[in-house]
Amino acid sequence: MTWLAEAVLDVEKIEALLIVQKPAGEVWESWKRVDFEDRELAAYFADMVRAQRHICQELAPELQEIRLTLESNLLTVIVTELSSHFIGVFIFRNPLPLGLARLAIKRVTDRILPRLPTETVEVEGEAKRLIEFILRYAPDPHVVMERIALKTRIPYERIYEVESLSREEIARLREAAEEILGVSIEI
């Protein structure tokens, strides 16, 4: 049994717990009762936390803790910041009162916080996260990547060789992506 499985052992109706590294959106550790693809899910939740943090800074700068709650008839998903470097994605089977879910999250968080690194573990580089963001959110990723290649004058094939891109090329890549997609990209 893993340390994360031990941390959730006495929690009723929990289906999964993902510990996701910010800002990369990479799964650092996970425990799942049901099998599902957690990599893409983790990236979306990291993006949601980043967006909510931005909204809160504009509307309520004094707000310290970010928590997202998503409810359906089958599941309740609560995403919470565990530290400045990690978020927790807690997935519960319904019916479950939110108060009980939050109490369980508090108990589990107290158990797992001592095991989390105090600094970010570099999972992947900025260029790779930028490419993944574009591929995830662009309406037609292939066309957008071709436009970015033309705009930055970086050969299309080379854009995907993220380890070989210079800081200046990464900056051009970000600038072109923001202009083409019409968004500010914070990764």
Tens of pLDDT, residue by residue over 149-179, are: 999 999 998 888 877 788 788 889 989 988 9
Entry pTM: 0.69
CA distance 84 to 160: 29
pLDDT, tens only, 15-72: 999 999 887 788 889 999 988 888 888 888 988 888 888 788 788 777 777 899 999 9
d(C-alpha 159, C-alpha 163), whole Å? 9
How confident is the model at residue 169, as a pLDDT?
85
**CA 151, CA 172: separation in Å to the nearest integer?**
9
Measured distance CA(59)–CA(102) in Å, rounded: 24
Structural fold of domain 3-115? Beta-Lactamase (3.30.450)
Q: What is the pLDDT of residue 54?
A: 78
Model confidence band, residue 124 (pLDDT cutoffs 50, 70, 90): very low
Q: Are 78 and 68 in contact (CB under 8 A)?
A: yes
Looking at residues 83-95, what average pLDDT do you find?
Answer: 93
Measure the CA–CA gap between 42 and 70, rounded to whole angstroms.
14
**Residue 102 pLDDT exceeds 80:** yes
Domain residues of the chain, as ranges? 3-115, 126-181
Residue 73 has pLDDT above 60, yes or no: yes
Q: How confident is the model at residue 85 (pLDDT cuts 50, 70, 90)?
A: confident
Check residue 10 and give its pLDDT. Answer: 94
CA 182 – CA 46 distance, rounded (Å): 20
Read off the pLDDT of each residue in 129-154 and give the average, rounded to a whole number: 88
